[in-house]
Each structure stands twice: as C-alpha cells, then as structure tokens.
Structure 1
C-alpha cells in the first residue's frame, strides 16, 4: 500500500487518530507522578544497557538512584561520547547499547560538523514514538480537516532518499525526516501528515543534493492542491516559502500551463489554472500563500528563538486566521518537551522519555556541574538541558537552553530559547536568549518589527573622536536587522541606545563590560526585507539540507557576515558612543 493510499484509507486515519490521542493521554497520566516515571526510565536504561562496555565501565549495575548515576557518569557532550559512537558506527556491538542502532541521525550541531546520533529500536519504541505521536494531537484535534486528503498538508521537511549515505558499517546516516519509520522500526502508522501527498515522493528524477530544485518541484505540485496546513519544524523553512513562491512564480505558472514538472511531461496542460494564477499576480502584485491556499488553517513549526521576532507577521502571509502550533522542544538526540494543547510556545516535559536534569544557564556547564531535577525548576528561569535515555546517550548536554514558562499538571512547561553557546569577547558572556529578549524589548519600545536579526562583535571604526577616552578602541556589537517595513531615520537612530539598555538589563556581564569600557554601544546595520531569506536560500543552494539551515543570531565569521550584509540596501547607524568627525 502506497503512502497516498494509506492516508486515503478511512480505517488507517481512524487508527492514526486513536494512536495520537492515546499517546497524549498516557503522557498526561504520567504527570500524576512524574518522579516515579523518571525513576522507571533510569532503572530501565541501567538494566537494559548494564552489560555494554560503557555500562560496565561506569558501573551501571551498582547504580540505584539519580544521585548514584550523577556520581558514576559525568555531564558530557557529543565530543565526549564521539569515540564510543564512532566505534558503534563502524559496526562494533555492545559498546553503548544492548541493541544495535538501525540508523544514525545526522545533526549539524553548532560547529557545522555532522554528528552521528545512534538510533536503536529500543530508543524508538520507548523514548521516541510515544512523544512523536503525542506531538500531533493539537493539530488533528483542532484541525481535523488537514487529514481529510493526502495533499492537504505541505510537509516541507519530508525528504525521502532512495540511496541514503551510510556509516562505515552500512547503516543509514540521515536526517530524521528521511527515515521510513514503518519499514525500519515496524511502525506503519508513523508516516507524518503530508508524506502521502503527490509531492511526498517526487515523480521526476532529481539529484539527492539538489535541495532547491526539490523544494521547487514540491511547491510547483502543491500550488495545484488545496493545502490546509504547512509543516516546517524549522521556521526558517516556513519563512522562505513566500519568498520562493514569488521567486519561482513565472516558472510555476508556465509549467502548470504546459503540464510539465521540472521540464518533463507530467500531466495534461492546465491553461485555466495558469490563467487564474496569473490573475492573482496581477491583482496582488506580490503573491502570498494565503492567495494560493485560501483555506489554510495551520502552520506547525518552532515558535521561539529568533522566530519569535518574525512569526506574527509571517503568519499573516499564510492567512489572517491561521494558527501557528509549536513543534516539540527536541533535537536529533532526543525529546525534551511537547505541546499537548495550543500553547503558543511551550511544551510539557516528556517525563516518560528520558531522565532529565537541568543546570542554571548563566553558569558554564562542565563534567562536574551541579544539576537540578525537574521538580526543582523555577518559572521564568533559563536552564541547560541534560538528558539520559536507553538509546545510549548518558547525562548528555544537548547544547540547548530552555526557559520554564510555568508548571502545568505537575510538570514544568518549557520553551526553547536558543543554543547554550556564548558570544564572549570582553567578558559579556551573551547567550541567544538574552539577546533575543533584549531585541524584543527594544523593538517593542519603538513599535518596530523585523523579519530577522543577526549580530557580531565588530572592531572599532577609525573615527573615534566623540567616544569617551575610556572607550577608545573598544569593540562593539553590530546588529543586522531586516525591517518589516522601512524605518525612519529617527527610529533607526534611537534604536541602538534602546537595545543597549535592554542588553544591560538582561545580562549583568554585558552591563559590567559596558561600564568598564570593554565594549562600546552597539551599532545597527539595516538590510532590505529579503536579506535573510536570500541568505538562507543561498546556503541551501550550496548543498546544505533545508532542515539544517536554521536561524543563527551570532555570526562572527567575516565571510558569512559579508554574505548577509554585503548587498545593496544596507545602511549602518552608529550608536551614540560612536560620533563622527
């Protein structure tokens, strides 16, 4: 049975809905006693993997409590586990886990290097699938029509491969969206919404790394369907869609008129549909998703981090009544939180999936860091995430920072705030979350909106006569912003000072660096509205998978900064510390 036939089968849809609702209810039931479930997860991973080389070295058989586990295993990163993982990827058995990985998920990480995340059958069935099914509950509960037809969902991240790259042992090394979970792990219901659409498996030949062409072909096909929902997970992919629609519009209309796909014969020519699409372009000038798909209901993607700056306006591109549902707080390595209702940003801790520990995000995380259990977390605080699960990641610092929004049903609800990496050139130790909150405050104070933002620490300019003597030669943060609508000279001129004040409030370390003169006031570079989506498009064109081209706040690499800001339409506005001659 094909994916399209499966999603058209009423019995399959009924079983899928039941599974999704059942997994959500099981998770909610676990909230009645989260500490007991955390203990069960720890006992299971210790017992199951005690006979592995890693388990023997760290005395898993002697561990009884979380306190024992903390003493036996240090907090560790991918780099610490990489030698063990590489041995597993080369084919050794019993290294990290009792069952052997069927797949290795790829993840770009903050360094850009491709990780190999081992994915075992036991991990998938005890950790991944329960959370994975529950994540779709708000979508299908409140927007049941998105499952009414296979082509009602445009799933931007679905990218199956016929010949995936492999590890040395021959196991697939791919993104999670490129794995057939039904074939690999015996889960026939696990296909995501949208995977049975006509564009789920492209009907024309295309190179595996021709990511832009694949995105074009899917969009070309979707324009002829009544799409009700867009799934992106990575919000940068969703933000790129309106840009791509206009970039490729002439080609799309021509191919619909001619009945071709990628220049090859595909279906009967449809001049009437082409004529209606041309009328839309003539009427509106800029064609938006809402014009093409007027019955759009929902968008499913991450809603926090840099996306929080642009999603309110981006949502309007898809329709005034469209709901944006938050994707899970999760990484390739494992889940953390999942939204069980329509909360706009936060997900409940998946207490049945992993053993979770947290550490104050303002402190550096190291092997011996003191950690907190979930019940010790405080609202409105940022924390590093550390988790352990049966798939072979033990006290693993995933590199993400989450913020506790509140406690609901007995567990913390968390939202992703950014990576744990810092920008630290003069002792300011800034994290993504601090800068994004400062940007939000500074923009709100002036009633301003942006389509995206980035920053770097720039060397001082040659003209410093108006800067206080104590700050001569101090570097400063330069912010590149793409305004939603043009800013006036007064608005741009006042913004750096507002942002500086907001950064001082968010970060005591930044405030000290500014007070001591180690940093000057930030400056502002205004870009044209499409600068960030063009940059995203260029990186995908260079061969990076779209799911891995994510919003990046700190961009210290000079070439990357020049690529983002070097085009026409930029204007640098100096902070008040930086007077001109």
Structure 2
C-alpha cells in the first residue's frame, strides 16, 4: 500500500465514522430499538417546542448572547447590553461568510474566544458560491444545543415508518458516508471535513449518532483506495451492496441517488465479474458467489436493462432533498427503484446550521427548528444587504419566499446562509419551509430570475406537454448571428425522445411561464432585451457523465450538486459536448 492510499477499514483519528460509534452499535442487540427511541424522542421534543416558538426563540438568543458575551465579537457588539431581538438587529448588520471569515481564520489558527467561548472540535467544510472551501467552526455547545436535536429528529420519519431498515446494518446504502483515516486539518490541528466524515460518537460523546448504513460492509471500505478517488469508492460500495438486501438509500444530495442507475449500468460487467470471482477492486474478498452473479446476469438479460429495482427489489425509501431541480426528475427516478418507493425529504439545512426539519412524512417541507437558532428572514424579491429589513418567524406568510438569516451559539451571527426557502404553510403560527434554491440570480438584461422561479416555470411547461426530463441547466447566450437580443438556452436531457414539435411547444410554454413567474422577465421580454428561450436537447446520460467528470476531478460527491444556472463557458461546454 502506497502513502496516498486510504485504509478506511480503520480510523485511528476518530474522524471517519465506522458506524459503530462505541460498543453496542449497529447490528448489536437492542441497538435498533435504542436508536428509534432516541430519534423519536427528539422529534417529539421539537414538536412540543413548536407550541411556544416565540419563547424558545427568545431563549436561544438570550443563551447565545450570555454564553458568548465575553468573546472578542461579543464585546465589540455589546452582547452584554442586548436584551431582545430588536436590540440585536440594531447592534449587528446582516453578514455572510466573508464577514465572519477573518475571525474564523484566526480561530482556525489557534486563537481562542473570538466568535465563541467554546473551542471548535472540528470544522465542517462547505463549498461557497465561488467554490472556495469554507471553514465552519463546530463547537461542543453548538452540537449539543443546535445540531443534535434536529439531527436526531430528522431520522424519525424514516425509522418510524420503515422500521425494517434499522434491523440489519446492511439494509441501508448510505451514499454520503465517507470516512477518511487522515483528514485535512486547519492550522490549529482540527479536522476540516464534511459533516458526513465526522464520527460524532468519538468527537462529541454521542454513540447513537452513527447514521443508518454506516456499519454496513461498505461503511468502512476493506481495501485501500486513494483518498480523492471518489469514483472508485462509489464503485466499491455498489459492488458490495449488490450482495445485500437493500431497503433504503440515503443520499441527502439527490444527484448522488440519481447517479446510481447510471453507475450500475456503467460498472455492471465489472460488478458481476467480481461477485463471481470473490474479489473487490481486484483484491480477493470473501467467498466467490457464482449464484448471485448468475442471478444478476439473468435479471439484466430478462429485462434488457440494469435497474436498481431488479437488483434490490425490496427498496422502500429514498432519503434526500426533494425540492429544487430534483423535484423535476425525482418522480421518474423513484420508479427506477421500485413501484411505491417513498421519497422522504432531508432537512432544510446547511453546514452552518439547520433551518427546517420534517417531523412527519410530508414530501418536501419541514418545521422551523425553533430551539436551534434565532431566525430572521428577508423577502427574496430583494437582494440582501447589511441593513436589510428582516422579519421574525411569526411574521412570515404562506406561499412567499425568503432569504434565511440565523444566529446561534456556535459563533455565527445574523448569518445569511445564501439559501432561499418557501413557506408552505403556518400550522399553529410556525412556518413550515421547503428549500427553494440558492439566493443568487440569473440577470443578463434585468430579468433577475431566481432558481425557484425557473424551476416552477419548467414544471408548468413539463406538465402542460406531458414531457419528462432527466435533468436540466440553463444559461444566457447571444442568439446565432448576433442580430437578436440574448436568450436563455435550456440544456435538457429528456427521459424519452422529444419530437421537434413537442420541443417547440415546450419552449413557448416555458417562455410564458417565466413571464408569469417574474415581472422583471416579462418586462425585458416586452421591450426586446431578451429573445425567446431556446431548448438544446442532450442525450439522456449527459448530466451523469458531467457529474462523474466533476467527481472524478477529486470533488466529494456530496458537494457536486444540481446546478440550474451554468454561465461558466468551460462547464457548459463540458456538459453539452457531444449533444445534438
């Protein structure tokens, strides 16, 4: 084994979870029942807290001000003098990561007591809008008061409604679980990793925190693989998983789940050969299984294709984000995993903190996590600024979209996370929210389109035409010949062939739907500053190849997400190269 390989079967740092957390983990007697009791108890506590949202919001603010009053940030902004949310809003501007970054960098270099009175144990990594890797400080107090209650509660609908997934360690294919033995670190020696790469049991004393599927045979790969060879890691997990009775897939990022049917077909011959030979990545592993190999070959021959539904006929649930671009392709994707498979939504959350968590089987929305952060919102129709007026949770309106701003004890204050949420409804006066898209806009001629507006317009055009797609992206381009105004070009991978007349009608309907969604778009179209949109049909596998190229470049799969707006020339060419 060379120095650049990653022996993930062991974890001497305690950073990459093996899924056991401590003695008595997944697969041990009684663990499934203990886990179910814990996640349901946290869900129930949050449900009760919704009945006194304003009191809990006040308590969260009071706690973070008191705990961090003597930090450099707290002293500078007079935390000791702040009594309520109005004082807090007057004392601090709305801030993004860049505004927090100087103190975060000093903290990561080892300087204490800057943003939080707690020292970070790890730093979560998150890609920013520029692609830079953020350092999100993760403190023990943050984990205890902000993270763990929502984190446990998020699993309750899955475990409660599909209890069989918790009774075998290999019943769940957890695609986001990616332990590493030697994580990158900040200057103060703290791990700088994705949230899915942290063993919360080892780091924060939470032995029940290991997710379903993390103790499966593929949870800690038993063969060496280069740390950044994420495609090979994905292959090895699928190779092992085809010999198990999978009941659920966890992806969070839905692009990871969407890639599974493509990957099974792409790697099928290799998978079947290794199952037959008893090898894993070319290395002897377990006993040869010619019977399972023959069964897999028969399934592919009989159905004429490779589908997850044939490989794992008892899959019952998919767990990941269900809104955004994924909402356009998820219904058809779900059927590839079996008739009647349920798609349960992951929480509305970022590496920096939670926003909403589903407490039931609703397909897209979650209740505000009122005990986690002090929340503010701003109308998504306007761009955020340091002095933007904000609304409190009880002041929101159903059907409207808002920028999310939160403050929590971990050291983020009036933090604009860069996400837009849509308020689905207000049961009991508490907002139930779903992720609507990133806060950035596409704005070539003053149309100022948000992701959510374009997605709704796409859905309307798809519904009206009866067409379906695998994925979609768009950008503005100069019309051919340069004589007309620029136009939006939609690169679409159709699920089935679209006839020319269907494509033409779809484009016209999409144009009208965009006009309904956005007064600004309607205005620029009326004055001729934008031409009618065009559709560029790609082959059905175009987005999967593009996704694999990005992952193959060394980017962790959890961070290669669906991107609707793609103005970058090189990335657009990579996606559309070879299309018709």
Q: Under a length normalisation based on structure 1, what TM-score does the superposition of the two structures give?
A: 0.95
State the 1:13 CA deviation: 2.1
2:566 corresponds to which residue? 555
2:502 corresponds to which residue? 491
Q: Are 1:373 and 2:395 an aligned pair?
A: no
Q: Are 1:331 and 2:350 an aligned pair?
A: yes
State the 1:10 CA deviation: 2.8
2:196 corresponds to which residue? 177
Matches within 5 A, 1:329-368: 329-368=348-387
1:574 corresponds to which residue? none
Q: Are 1:527 and 2:546 an aligned pair?
A: no
1:220 corresponds to which residue? 239
Q: Which secondary structure does the structure 2 equivalent of 1:358 belong to? A: strand
Cα distance change of structure 1 residues 107 and 154 upon mapping to structure 2, 3 Å threshold: same
> Among residues 96, 116, 119, which one is paired with 1:77 in the alignment?
96
Supply the distance in 2 between the matched residues of 1:551 and 1:500 (Cα, whole angstroms): 22
Supply the distance in 1 between the matched residues of 2:85 and 2:571 (Cα, whole angstroms): 43
Q: Which secondary structure does the structure 1 equivalent of 2:93 belong to? A: coil
Supply the distance in 1 between the matched residues of 2:128 and 2:344 (Cα, whole angstroms): 25
Matches within 5 A, 1:160-559: 160-462=179-481, 472-559=483-570
Supply the distance in 2 between the matched residues of 1:486 and 1:477 (Cα, whole angstroms): 22
State the 1:6 CA deviation: 1.5
**Number of aligned residue pairs:** 561
Q: Are 1:140 and 2:159 an aligned pair?
A: yes
> Among residues 25, 28, 32, which one is paired with 1:9 in the alignment?
28
Supply the distance in 1 between the matched residues of 2:534 and 2:484 (Cα, whole angstroms): 15
Supply the distance in 2 between the matched residues of 1:252 and 1:13 (Cα, whole angstroms): 31
1:578 corresponds to which residue? none
Supply the distance in 2 between the matched residues of 1:2 and 1:116 (Cα, whole angstroms): 24
1:579 corresponds to which residue? none
State the 1:9 CA deviation: 1.8
Q: Assess if the C-alpha contact under 8 Å between 2:68 and 2:409 holds in 1.
A: yes
Supply the distance in 2 between the matched residues of 1:234 and 1:26 (Cα, whole angstroms): 27
- Cα deviation 1:508-528 (Å, max 9, x = unaligned): 111111111111111110011
Q: Which secondary structure does the structure 2 equivalent of 1:482 belong to? A: strand
Q: Which secondary structure does the structure 1 equivalent of 2:431 belong to? A: strand
2:135 corresponds to which residue? 116
Q: Assess if the C-alpha contact under 8 Å between 2:18 and 2:219 holds in 1.
A: no
Supply the distance in 2 between the matched residues of 1:141 and 1:531 (Cα, whole angstroms): 37
Structure 1 gaps of 5+ residues are 465-471, 571-581
Q: Which secondary structure does the structure 2 equivalent of 1:171 belong to? A: coil
Q: RMSD value over aligned CA atoms?
A: 1.1
> Among residues 12, 23, 39, which one is paired with 2:42 in the alignment?
23
State the 1:404 CA deviation: 0.5
Supply the distance in 2 between the matched residues of 1:3 and 1:494 (Cα, whole angstroms): 51
State the 1:493 CA deviation: 1.4
* Dislocated runs of 4+, deviation >6 Å: none
- Cα deviation 1:24-65 (Å, max 9, x = unaligned): 111011111100000000000000000000000000000001
State the 1:287 CA deviation: 0.9
Q: Assess if the C-alpha contact under 8 Å between 2:359 and 2:366 holds in 1.
A: yes
Structure 2 gaps of 5+ residues are 1-16
State the 1:2 CA deviation: 7.0
State the 1:14 CA deviation: 2.0
State the 1:200 CA deviation: 0.4
Cα distance change of structure 1 residues 67 and 232 upon mapping to structure 2, 3 Å threshold: same
> Among residues 54, 74, 89, which one is paired with 2:108 in the alignment?
89
Supply the distance in 2 between the matched residues of 1:332 and 1:147 (Cα, whole angstroms): 26
Q: Which secondary structure does the structure 2 equivalent of 1:10 belong to? A: coil
Q: Assess if the C-alpha contact under 8 Å between 2:25 and 2:207 holds in 1.
A: no
- Cα deviation 1:485-531 (Å, max 9, x = unaligned): 10111101112211111101101111111111111111110011111
1:576 corresponds to which residue? none
State the 1:11 CA deviation: 2.5
Supply the distance in 1 between the matched residues of 2:31 and 2:459 (Cα, whole angstroms): 44
